[in-house]
Structure 1
């Protein structure tokens, strides 16, 4: 039995289809996973603000920070909540708008050939055990469907512009779970 349905939608993930996506360029093969963190408001967890943001329904009147970002149209393929719940916003066969201006191993426009995973978190707190427990099978499923060769943080594909997934992400655990994947040089050792 396949863990994928309707193309690149993962069975078991809550499906909230974002309007913020596009088609991948012809011949683009998914070979990279980009890890992010997000919390709305910043460094606050819980609530449905991230979902609202990716669905273009974030109310700018609720919080001053929301007024700054409410007009942005962004998305990720997946969002892993603190309790391990998994939400999917974009079919993995399509291009989510998560990495922005980006380069990995000399190849630009990472959105064209990557899957974006947002972890509910910030640069200032460790991720939860439930998040890692959800992330590992997600990475396994992606590696079955796509020729994933590398995992990088947003900070690695957009250095100087982004800092996520931040200093608390457990790269050693990722390396142990996914041996053989290329990782950023500073976390690969």
Structure 2
């Protein structure tokens, strides 16, 4: 995988909402933000379909409402859900984009950050292909770091203290990105 070109112009990303290095996979599961200028939180998630299995197109199919529910028993449980994320980083570092960063993806659900509810309204969601107790890959940390830097440059209200896990904004309901996610390592990479 070749290294993406950095830095890009933050104003271009703010205007387009699209990361040119990402494979575009448009999801119908999004809506307008109440205020497009109020993007001030980045949320890190994990997802694997089936649970704790990696590879294949199941995550992409799920976010695009075309998951074959007969392919695995777990898919019958989630087949009717309408969810999305802005971005997905696969195990090999491949970056997929489902929703423009300017729009409201459906990734956080009922959530609160620093006393403010409805995090989908003002956040960007990044899914890592992974599971709570399975270590993430070096390629994923590298890609997450580069994408986070680019997002922070475009939306300066997203500072290091405004990067949270799904478990931080929906405690008791969500556990991702889980104990396998090395926040210290990620923050060191982000600072270098």
Q: Could you tell me the TM-score, scaled by structure 2's length?
A: 0.89
Structure 2 CA distance for partners of 1:143 and 1:5, relative to 1, 3 Å: closer
| 1:54–1:75 CA contact under 8 A, matched in 2 | yes
Unaligned runs of at least 5 residues, structure 1: 180-189
Q: CA deviation at 1:27?
A: 5.8
2:176 matched to 1:164? yes
2:100 matched to 1:91? yes
Alignment of 1:2-151 (within 5 A): 2=9, 4=13, 7-26=16-35, 29-147=38-156, 148-149=158-159, 150-151=162-163
* CA RMSD in angstroms, aligned pairs only: 1.4
Number of residue pairs matched by the alignment:
179
Unaligned runs of at least 5 residues, structure 2: 1-7
CA distance in 1, matches of 2:74, 2:14: 36
CA distance in 1, matches of 2:15, 2:22: 13
CA distance in 2, matches of 1:165, 1:5: 26
Runs of 4+ residues over 4 Å off in structure 1 = none
Structure 2 CA distance for partners of 1:12 and 1:27, relative to 1, 3 Å: closer
Q: Could you tell me the TM-score, scaled by structure 1's length?
A: 0.91
